Amino acid sequence: MELTGADIVVKCLQDEGIDYIFGYPGGAALHIYDALYRQDKVKHILVRHEQGASHAADGYARATGKPGVVLVTSGPGITNAVTGIATAYMDSIPLVVISGQVPTHLIGDDAFQEVDAVGITRPCVKHNFLVKDVKDLAMTMKKAFFVASSGRPGPVLIDVPKDVTANKTEYMYPRSVKMRSYAPVVRGHPKQIRKAADLLLNAKRPIIYTGGGVVSADAEETLRELVQLLGYPCTNTLMGLGAYPYNDSLFLGMLGMHGTYEANMAMHDCDVMLAVGARFDDRITGDLSKFSPFAKIVHVDIDPSSIGKNVKVEIPIVGDAKSILEDLVKELHSRKQQPEPGALKQWWKQIDEWRGIDCLNYDRNSEKIKPQYVVEKLHEVTQGKAFVTSDVGQHQMWAAQFYGFDKTRRWINSGGLGTMGFGLPSAMGVQLAYPDDLVCCITGEASIIMCIQELSTCKQYDLPIKIINLNNRYMGMVRQWQEFFYDRRYSHSYMDALPDFVALSESFGHRGLLVEKPSDVEGALKEAFAMRDQLVFLDFITDQAENVYPMIAAGKGHNEMHLNPGSGEPPQERELA
Amino acid sequence: MRHIISILLENEAGALSRVAGLFSARGYNIESLTVAPTEDSTLSRMTIVTAGSDDVIEQIVKQLNKLVDVVKLQELTEGAHIERELMLAKVKATGDAREEIKRLVDIFRGRIIDVTDSTYTLELTGTVEKLDAFVKALDMTEIIEVIRSGVTGIARGERALSA
């Protein structure tokens, strides 16, 4: 049967098994919106700004592992979505973005709401397509889903001119697709895996450092098996939290700029590092010339260009993290050799000494609400079972340090691009995917304002998200840098003229709670979570002067951390070879 | 170090800008770039001359391979290869210079492909060095314009780049 391009778009989504799409209509997308109207399999979530659509689809994708789908119109529709596309690109999140385009005969004429969507998004998508013929539409949709969700995942844009959505052709959705120019490697090279096993078994000061790749490969079980088999310390990046349980004794916490003292010191002193699905970015490594000077590195990554980009590695292994970790576990089981117990004991003794300084210590007797305390209490009240999204800044780091994750896909934040405004819309995507689970958005008063309009979307679809606003009346991370590196010249980091967040959320039809005293924190959280069907905005008035510790300042090494004034004395440095 | 990377890519709108965009976004340098369809009209062949340390070249190769439109690529400078560039030059040709330019063109095995009373248009192919040498040797006359195609190349022997 012949279908219009618009119906084909919607049929493809149905055949791909898509339940939710996030979007905002406009002229060039109207045929597609009409096709959506005439069916009820694919549910469309109407956001209030296209940035919200791409973040919501992104949150959905991060929580479920399935590609998120965005539908926007041409011109400002797609340009507004770009921030969300770039956010997904930096964190390797599968998105399929469908944008309307002016009719083919008007392309290049500076037509109303025309923008070169393919050109504008090119640097921040894994791939993109302009569909000029309705006959190519179904195949292009199939390719888009295939490219977005295979290999190293990422966003893919399909730009569809309005006349293409009106033209008709036979519809047939391809079952599979092969592309001669795109064939990601899955299995790791067996010889490399054997070499990695040799290196790991002979390590004296090993560390296992894993990132978002373990999350996207669903390799957490295998990672845990490997870590426990070897008894080696494990640290996760900001993007990889949850891959190893926060409360296991082999876990050193997060590493990097605001990572724990023990994780960063162990990274610095290690002699063998197994890096899995992590890309040695600057927030992890600090000064590259001072990075892990004694380490021989095994780097497992599905993207060959991530390997050797920033740091030289001894043993590169290209492939899917899960498949490679499984092969590595098998290889280790087949060996008689065990890690040397004496050296390992010595290493753990050193790590425990580092742990002893209690780097995440904060003032628990303060009369002001400490943001760390709110996050800890949130963990208690939700029993650590909530999905936690965040925006960007101090609150994001406190959420990462203090919530404690024991599953992947529960911690949802913009790690690579660092997009303020991400938290609330991404929480919408998570809540739609998991309607019966607890979803909280840990945010700050500066970030939340950036996509505050989505409170309206939350009302329309009854999304009972709990917003944890750590309100310090500053762009906290900016203020912290200004305190440390700009002689306390707080240039434009003060959030003057803030709204009354309780009244604001109530005006959107939600509940709001203002919390000003530490003794009220727990009660307010319990009260909010008791309102199962309500979005509750908890406005915590927190200590303005609180800083995120530990901190590796830009250009410093892992062993040059700025510690919390309340932490213990760092142990003496040892001579290492 | 100078490197020549030969790329087979899908002959699709936008493929060139993906490659060019990658070089500018990541700060890699392009000395020259040539591109045209191959005998298979669905494929284009691109030749890029670039320069960088071994680490940079390794990243360039990996990043190019990552582009979905790139089918295959080959680093020509890794093995024996032939490279050629085409040059067209319009020069002033009057009086004694007329004869001298003709002799020079013969020596360099070029051709005169257009003539007026006062000008010659010359065609020359060869390596970059040969073309440079020719331009230098043309100092007896005034050069009106010079157009160079940029380098293309192919591997020697059995080594080939095909889909």
Q: Tell me whether residues B58 and A118 touch, CB distance under 8 A.
A: no
**Contact (CB, 8 A) for B145 and B30:** no
Q: Tell me whether residues B21 and A122 touch, CB distance under 8 A.
A: yes
Q: Tell me whether residues A309 and B59 touch, CB distance under 8 A.
A: yes
Q: Tell me whether residues B68 and A126 touch, CB distance under 8 A.
A: yes
Q: Which residues of A touch B9 (CB under 8 A)?
A: 181
Query: Dmax over Cα atoms in chain A, in whole Å?
Result: 77
Closest alpha carbon to B66 in A306, A244, A425: A306
Element at B8 (helix H, strand E): strand B2-10
Q: Which residues of A touch B13 (CB under 8 A)?
A: 130
Q: Tell me whether residues B14 and A118 touch, CB distance under 8 A.
A: yes
If one counts every other C-beta atom within 10 angstroms of the C-beta of residue B106, the result is 11
Q: What is the pLDDT of residue A279?
A: 96
B69 at interface of A, judged by CB pairs closer than 8 A: yes
Considering only CB atoms, A181 lies closest to which of B10, B14, B58, namely: B10
Q: In the structure, what pLDDT confidence band is assigned to residue B141 with cuts at 50, 70 and 90?
A: confident
Parallel, antiparallel or unpaired: strands A536-541 and A511-515: parallel
Closest alpha carbon to A149 in A95, A99, A81, A83: A95
- Tokens 């021989």 sit on residue: A296
A231 at interface of B, judged by CB pairs closer than 8 A: no
B79 at interface of A, judged by CB pairs closer than 8 A: no
Q: In the structure, what pLDDT confidence band is assigned to residue B139 with cuts at 50, 70 and 90?
A: confident
Using CA atoms, how far apart are residues A137 and A13, in angstroms rounded to an integer? 12
Q: What is the pLDDT of residue A577?
A: 58
- Lookup: tokens for A20: 């939710």
Count residue pairs from A and B with Cβ separation < 8 A. Answer: 38
- Lookup: tokens for A571: 């142990």
B70: helix, coil or strand?
strand
Q: Write out the catalytic residue numbers of A.
A: 50, 112-113, 162, 477
| Complete DSSP assignment for B72-139 | EEEEGGGS-EEEEEEEEEEEE--THHHHHHHHHHHHTT-EEEEE-SSEEEEEEEE-HHHHHHHHHHGG
Using CA atoms, how far apart are residues B84 and B148, in angstroms rounded to an integer? 11
A439: helix, coil or strand?
strand
Q: Which amino acid is at A363?
A: D
Q: What is the pLDDT of residue A571?
A: 76
- As to burial, measured by CB atoms within 10 angstroms (0-12 exposed, 13-18 middle, 19+ buried), residue A489 is exposed
| Helix runs in A24-136, H state only | 30-37, 50-64, 76-90, 117-121
Which residue does chain A place closest to B10, by CA atoms? A181
Using CA atoms, how far apart are residues A390 and A299, in angstroms rounded to an integer? 29
- Lookup: tokens for A177: 């697709």
Closest alpha carbon to A253 in A565, A480, A561, A574: A561
Element at A252 (helix H, strand E): strand A251-254
The set of residues, in sequence order, having a beta carbon less than 8 Å from that of A244 and lying 6+ positions away, is: A210, A220, A223, A224, A227, A234, A236, A250, A251
Q: Residue range B132-160: average pLDDT?
A: 94
Q: What is the pLDDT of residue B163?
A: 81
Q: What is the pLDDT of residue B1?
A: 87
Element at B51 (helix H, strand E): strand B43-51
Mean pLDDT by 10 residues, chain A (577 residues): 96 98 98 98 98 98 98 98 98 98 97 98 98 98 98 98 98 94 93 98 98 98 98 98 98 97 97 97 93 97 96 97 98 94 96 95 95 98 98 98 98 98 98 98 98 98 98 96 95 94 98 98 98 97 96 90 82 69
The 10s digit of each residue's pLDDT in B88-133 is 999 999 999 999 999 999 999 999 999 999 999 999 999 999 999 9
Closest alpha carbon to A404 in A556, A246, A172: A246
Using CA atoms, how far apart are residues A237 and A211, in angstroms rounded to an integer? 5
A108 at interface of B, judged by CB pairs closer than 8 A: no
| Complete DSSP assignment for A149-176 | HSSS--EEEEEEEHHHHHSEEE----S-
A119 at interface of B, judged by CB pairs closer than 8 A: yes
Q: Which residues of B touch A182 (CB under 8 A)?
A: 68
Using CA atoms, how far apart are residues A480 and A475, in angstroms rounded to an integer? 9
DSSP code at position B31:
S
Q: Tell me whether residues A181 and B68 touch, CB distance under 8 A.
A: yes
